[in-house]
Amino acid sequence: MSGDVVPTYFPVLDPVSNYEKLHRIGEGTYGVVYKARDRTTGELVALKRVRFDRSRDGFPVTSIRELRVLQTCRHTNVVALKKVVTGSQADSVFLVFEYCDHDLGRLLDSMSGSSGRRSFSMSEVKCLIRQLLEAVSFLHDHWVVHRDIKLSNLLYTHTGHLKLCDFGLARSFAPFVTPMTPNVVTLWYRAPEVLLGSEEYDESIDMWSCGAVLAELVSGEPLFPATSEGECLNMMANLLGPPSERIWPGMSKLPNAGKFVFPDQPYNFLRRQLPQLSDQGLHLLNSMLTYDPDRRITARQALRHEFFREKPYPKQPADMPTFPSSHEVPRTGAAPHNRHHYHHHHHHGGGAGGGAGSKRTRSEAAGGLLDTKRHARGVGGGGDLDERFGAAFGGGGGGGSLLDGGGVQLVRQR
């Protein structure tokens, strides 16, 4: 392990001693997360210690990706990286994030494990999903695919704001960075093309995950709590009908397509499974959970969907409910689908533990309809990317950086 873990030309780093660690609040595959207090301002923050023992060649590539994305993509619904600080040891590096009281995985677990509120109301679900889509639309406009959207990576603040976190698996999906690994996205949120081994997927895999999140927020339960890829695909087919060349051209050519035999069940049972959804809500969900990624709805299209314009209208964040901090209240019972337990045994890819909150998981699904996509392309300037930061991490970390254009920020033209 080199002593020069963080390059000397990285922007001047503060010491971690400027923060008082209060207690540990989570642990991801690539780092431990602490709740801490800034000794100068008194502000609460989340400190994520970068774990070096999983990197073969210096600073971990997952942390490089997370840093580059968070420096470039600043948005109200993306967790804010405040700074990077160092400890007394050469390999002691911490990312300082804004502190959030909850992650939605832990929050839903606490709801289902209590005798009180068991799920969000429809107007609250609309508020949360709209904020998620705003974050995802922003990332996709900047040619970034998150690749690990799930409830535990959605933080929730006491002001009702949703924050997407954990960018350790994020990558550019611009045409020059293919192929990509199929070992991404926690199983219950994984798109069918990824399950079938595609290495040429794009941002539409995030939209599949958004659909899984929407379904779970509505019902409080996962659609597809599978323990293997084959079981997950079978659960999709049993609920939504099987995929085929007719509705998904090119499916049969995917690497793993010949390994699975789908049940001969031609019906979509989402209406029966989610009676809480209106016709518009069901249409949006089917549009997100469309087998063919080229016909799957985009984040920008989803934000314009009638589901958000019909009653009950989405709540404003300021009107959203508040809860005792997930990190202060002990669990009072095991939820039927504990996301924390599932994550550590079935996460096929391993994201970094985001700004705050423990790791858990939930659903995945398929089926649907809708019009074709996009792809206007443009190149913008460096945006908020600090040039010193880009120089420091442009090629390090045992596998290359996220934005392979030498710090150039790719921006999709509308």
SS3 73: coil
Average per-residue pLDDT for the chain = 78
Residue 334 has pLDDT above 70, yes or no: no
Could you tell me which of 183, 83, 98, 154 has the C-alpha nearest to residue 339?
A: 154
- Region 362-388: mean pLDDT is 31
The closest of 357, 410, 349, 385 to 64, measured between CA atoms, is 385
pLDDT in tens, 135-186: 999 999 999 999 999 999 999 999 999 999 999 889 888 765 556 766 668 8
Q: Identify the weakest region by mean pLDDT among 78-82, 150-154, 278-282, 379-383.
A: 379-383
H helices of 142-228, where? Answer: 192-195, 204-219
Give the pLDDT band of residue 346 (cuts 50, 70, 90): very low
Find the mean pLDDT for residues 69-93: 89
Lowest average pLDDT, out of 28-42, 295-309, 332-346, goes to 332-346
**Across 257-285, average pLDDT:** 96
Residue type for position 181: T
First-to-last CA distance in the chain?
A: 45
pLDDT level of residue 400 (50, 70, 90 thresholds): very low
Contact call for residues 46 and 356 (beta carbons, < 8 A)? yes
What domains are defined for the chain? 102-346 (1.10.510.10)
The predicted model scores a pTM of 0.79
Amino acid letter for position 248: W
Cα–Cα distances in angstroms (integers) from residue 201 to residues 107, 254, 384, 385, 413, in the given order: 31, 11, 27, 26, 20
Beta bridge partners of 20: 37
3-state secondary structure 358-384: CCCCCCCCCCCCCCCCCCCCEECCCCC
Mean pLDDT confidence for 83-94? 85
Distance CA 158, CA 79 (A): 14
Q: Mean pLDDT check: name the lowest of 86-95, 191-200, 252-261.
A: 86-95
How far is the CA of 288 from the CAs of 127, 151, 228, 372, in angstroms? 17, 16, 22, 12
pLDDT score at 395: 31
Nearest-Å Rg of the Cα atoms of the chain is 21
H or E segment to which residue 300 belongs? helix 299-303
Q: What are 107-121's pLDDT values in tens digits?
A: 999 887 664 666 899
Q: Which residues are catalytic?
A: 148
Binding site, by residue number, is 48
The annotation places the binding site for ATP at: 48
